[in-house]
Amino acid sequence: MIYSRRKTSQIQVGKVGIGSNFPISVQSMTTTKTRDVEGTLAQIYEIASNGADIVRVTCNEVEAAEGLVEITQRSPVPIIADIHFQYKLALAAIEAGVDGLRLNPGNIRKESQIKEVAKAALSANIPIRIGVNGGSLDKDLLEKYGDATPEALVESAMTELKYLEDVDFFNIKISVKHSNVPLMIQSYRLLAEKVEYPLHLGVTEAGPLPGGLIKSTAGISTLLNEGIGDTIRYSLTADPIEEAKSGRQLLEYLGLRERNSLDLIACPSCGRAEVDVIKVAEEAQEALNKEDIPLQVAVMGCVVNGPGEARSADLGIAAGKNKGHLFIRGEVVRVVNEKDMVTSLLDEARLIVEEGIESRLAAADDNAAELAQKDVEDLLNSQGDINSFTDRKKSVVEITSKQDND
């Protein structure tokens, strides 16, 4: 980790630990009717296999609570019940065996009811998330602050917190989500100064892709970078699989979780490109994703700069003149025909997963380096050497500045 994480208390959502001693976890939420047990479980399995550590489901009716009895038994990951308005459904969800609850202080407002739920959660030894949301804030707080300001969101959380602590309930995490990214960031910063409980981060109602993805990433990663945040959710208007993937990938890209999925890097392409980089990158991504290959793989548009610029990638392909240079950690191991670029990449990726990088480097074609060098020279002869251009440009700048001084 490159920064220090804010110190928090620890909680357990089933088998998943949350708090500063544990890796940051990823959450998502089902979109099925919870009473549809088979449909909900199918979606939970898909969400979990795409990177979610915990899944939340709505518990909005008696049939949903009944469905939770079987869902919690058969789910591969811990299940949290999302409760709005009806505190009795929280009690029913606890009885059904959920691993945690999310309560919205904006719509379950009676102190006695909140305390009753906390006492039941205490007996069942499950945590509660105080899930404040800028869009459903308590009316009194909206009147007091004039809007869903960071102060209003934090006051809502603190009031609910007092109710829980009054009955000796401390098994808590908190979220103060807002759909406006700067306000979301300020709300969490303010809350982090006041409590030691773990925080669940998210930009609420972030919307469809790509805007929703950008908003969520901006808000969540700004806070993670400050050491704030213990579990995250991307609230996208998209298939929840996208939420799980996005959350997981963000943590991997920030170096906060070990990579267990593909990281495809590709050059943005330019006039030097010898292939349609976008097409090749998309084809490679699809093929590698299908097989769940957990490597960093590069697709580069030319052999002049490609292998060097992507030398940190486990594996890559760069386009030469009607050829592809397959490289491992920057070293060309094979030169293939352009039409075989993606299949060769996929075959080599499989072999790296089976045999390891060192063994595949040792299995490089004897003449690969020589063929690659010749190809680079041919390209430079036809396109020109980028470095000599740079030198020439320097000379041009020197001449111009001399004239200015004269």
User: Which chain residues interact with ligand SF4 by CB under 6 A?
Assistant: 267-270, 272-273, 300-302, 304-306, 309
- Take residue 232 and report the two structure tokens written for it: 């995250």
Q: Given the complex with ligand SF4, which of 146 and 271 has the nearer CB atom?
A: 271
Pick between residue 132 and residue 302 the one whose CB is nearest to ligand SF4: 302
How near is the Cβ of 303 to ligand SF4 at its closest, in Å?
8
Kindly state the smallest distance separating residue 319's Cβ from ligand SF4, in Å.
8
Instruction: Give, in order, the Cα–Cα distances in Å from 208 to each of 213, 241, 243.
Output: 8, 13, 11
CA distances from 95 to 66, 69, 121, 403 (A): 9, 8, 9, 85
Please identify, using beta-carbon distances, which residue of 250 and 379 lies nearer to ligand SF4.
379
Smallest gap from residue 170 Cβ to ligand SF4 (A): 54
The least distance separating ligand SF4 from the CB of residue 383, rounded to whole angstroms, comes to 10
- For residue 270, the minimal CB distance to ligand SF4 (Å) is 3
Minimum distance of ligand SF4 from residue 334's CB (angstroms): 19
| Pick 14 or 306: Cβ nearer ligand SF4 | 306
Minimum separation from the CB atom of position 249 to ligand SF4 (A)? 23
CA-based Rg of the chain, rounded to a whole angstrom? 27
DSSP 8-state secondary structure symbol assigned to residue 7: P
Q: Which is nearer to ligand SF4, 183 or 273 (CB)?
A: 273
Nearest to 102 by CA among 59, 134, 141: 59
- For strands 323-328 and 331-337, give the pairing: antiparallel
Nearer to ligand SF4, 295 or 310 (CB): 310
DSSP 255-296: TSS---S-EEEE----TT-SS-HHHHHHHHHHHHHHTT--SE
- Toward ligand SF4, which CB reaches closer, 191 or 302? 302
Q: SS3 for 25?
A: strand
Measured CA to CA, the distance from residue 98 to residue 269 in angstroms comes to 49
Residue number with the shortest CB distance to ligand SF4? 301
| Nearest by Cα to 91 from 119, 131, 67, 110 | 119
Q: 185, 213, 223, 177: which is closest to 82 by C-alpha?
A: 177
